[in-house]
């Protein structure tokens, strides 16, 4: 940076005071009020569900533009395609290893607790399970073909993150091969990214209303009785997720990156609160992208690892599928052998790709997997329909934690992290710009003959 640039920066007016901390205090208050309303006025609380759905819909509306801009900039601006391949391969290998750990922990805890023993299945619950199976049944071939969009532009409007990922990678590689002639296009995309994040920052002010509606409806629909009857399963699942995040992920992050997981989660505290309020990890995806870039992880790593992780790094979903399957088998008096447990759950984890951020998708995936491999257990899915939304909280939080850790780790392994900046950000010395969600200026293209 030149002396002139430094003097301009020093003489610039101080930035406006950041008041967004009030927003997240309001979210906490809204969650508390939602719980109270759900318990005292359950019928009225259920009618508030559209408030939560509307807010999640607004966030979801922005996800594909965010992913598109991030990946195009990350891939199109690097000098070699080998960097992209290295990051992508490392991410997929890491995701596979972590999913295996998640499955193993879920199997161990589920076989120890045996939470399904002694429960009875009514006709109403059986029909609820069958309905979920119809929603979640899909073949691997259908999943793979579904990644291909109907057109280049429909990938931005389809609602399918993997379609956006595919098209953004293709455009990024094309811009990479265009060399200097592609720089003006990259500049346009960079301005578009800033616009998208500015709109997202505006939408976030509706978070307290969305949180109030979502939590009220969940508590009103579920009630206290369902929680009491299935408390063992819920507690077991929450404990398993906590063990996985802080023991497995925390150890890996400390050993391979030298980072305290509590420092990383403190930096991402507002995103965890947002997920808790909406039961959807997808609601925090755009903010995770912005915060990882702010923390010093390069655009290529963030652009590939975060969107891919939301479809392939489903640690919380893997634990959920494991424990829910064991629970259903125990409750129906048909416990699975170890071999059957492993083969069924591996299939369901594969089938669950792409459903990480959708509220309730874990339940549909569970029912679809059972329908394909053990149809006699499908009716048992109805046993956990009542508490699935509470379990989706832990699923979403664990999925988000896994993807945040994965981004830092893979960036570290591929030399894609500015470690000095990361340490300062985690120490609170470089706060995140909540107003725009982007704090780096757009890089203007260099004039001809500048070099």
Helices (H), 204-337: 207-229, 231-243, 250-257, 261-267, 269-278, 285-294, 299-312, 315-331
pTM given for the model = 0.74
Whole-angstrom Cα distance, residue 197 to residue 202?
9
Q: What residue has token string 């299945």?
A: 121
| Amino acid 140: pLDDT | 57
C-alpha distances out from residue 200 to 62, 194, 287, Å: 7, 10, 9
Domains and CATH numbers, the chain: 79-156+223-426 (1.10.3860.10)
In the three-class reduction of DSSP (H, G, I as helix; E, B as strand; rest coil), residue 275 is classed as helix
The answer to whether 91 and 308 have CB atoms below 8 angstroms apart is: yes
Average confidence (pLDDT) per 10 residues, the chain, 451 residues:
44 51 77 83 82 81 81 74 78 86 82 62 46 50 73 76 82 83 85 84 82 78 60 80 92 93 92 81 83 89 85 82 80 73 71 49 70 73 69 85 93 90 90 64 44 40
C-alpha atoms less than 13 angstroms from C-alpha of 219 in its C-beta half-sphere: 22
Helices (H), 352-428: 361-373, 388-413, 419-426
Q: How many residues does the chain have?
A: 451
| Amino acid 259: pLDDT | 93
| Amino acid 187: pLDDT | 87
Return the DSSP state at 42.
Answer: H
| Amino acid 79: pLDDT | 61
| Amino acid 181: pLDDT | 83
| Amino acid 421: pLDDT | 93
Whole-angstrom Cα distance, residue 252 to residue 245?
10
| Amino acid 250: pLDDT | 94
């Amino acid at each position: 940076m030149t002396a002139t640039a430094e003097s301009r920066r020093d003489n610039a007016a101080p930035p406006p005071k950041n008041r967004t901390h009030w927003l997240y205090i309001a979210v906490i208050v809204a969650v508390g009020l939602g719980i109270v309303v759900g318990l005292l006025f359950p019928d009225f609380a259920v009618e508030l569900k559209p408030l939560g759905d509307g807010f999640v819909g607004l966030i979801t509306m922005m996800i594909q533009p965010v992913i598109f801009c991030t990946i195009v900039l990350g891939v199109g601006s690097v000098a070699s395609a080998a960097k992209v391949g290295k990051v992508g391969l490392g991410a997929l290998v890491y995701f596979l290893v972590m999913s295996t750990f998640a499955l193993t922990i879920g199997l161990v805890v589920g076989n120890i607790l045996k939470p399904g023993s002694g429960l009875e299945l009514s006709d109403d619950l059986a029909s609820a399970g069958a309905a979920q199976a119809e929603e979640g049944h899909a073949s691997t071939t259908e999943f793979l073909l579904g990644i291909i969009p109907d057109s280049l532009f429909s990938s931005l409007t389809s609602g399918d993150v993997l379609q956006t990922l595919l098209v953004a990678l293709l455009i990024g590689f094309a811009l990479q091969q265009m060399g200097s002639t592609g720089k003006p296009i990259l500049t346009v995309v960079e301005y578009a990214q800033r616009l998208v994040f500015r709109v997202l920052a505006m939408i976030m002010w509706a978070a307290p209303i969305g949180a109030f509606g979502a939590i009220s409806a969940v508590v009103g629909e579920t009630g206290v009785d369902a929680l009491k009857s299935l408390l063992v399963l819920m507690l077991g699942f929450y404990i398993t997720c906590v063990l996985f995040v802080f023991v497995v992920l925390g150890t890996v992050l400390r050993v391979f990156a030298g980072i305290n997981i509590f420092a990383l989660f403190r930096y991402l505290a507002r995103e965890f609160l947002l997920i808790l309020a909406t039961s959807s990890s997808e609601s925090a995806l755009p903010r995770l992208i912005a915060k990882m870039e702010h923390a010093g992880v390069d655009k290529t790593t963030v652009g590939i690892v975060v969107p891919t992780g939301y479809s392939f790094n489903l640690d919380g979903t893997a634990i959920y599928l494991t424990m829910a399957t064991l629970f259903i088998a125990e409750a129906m008096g048909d416990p699975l052998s170890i071999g059957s447990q492993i083969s069924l759950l591996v299939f369901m984890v594969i089938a669950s790709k792409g459903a990480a951020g959708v509220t309730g998708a874990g339940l549909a995936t569970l029912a679809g997997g059972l329908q394909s491999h053990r149809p006699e257990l499908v009716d048992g899915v109805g046993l956990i329909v009542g508490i699935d939304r509470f379990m989706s909280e832990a699923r979403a939080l664990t999925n988000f934690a896994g993807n945040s850790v994965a981004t830092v780790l893979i960036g570290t392994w591929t030399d894609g992290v500015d470690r000095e900046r990361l340490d300062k950000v985690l120490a609170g010395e470089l706060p995140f710009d909540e107003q725009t969600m982007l704090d780096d200026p757009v890089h203007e293209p260099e004039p001809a003959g500048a070099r």
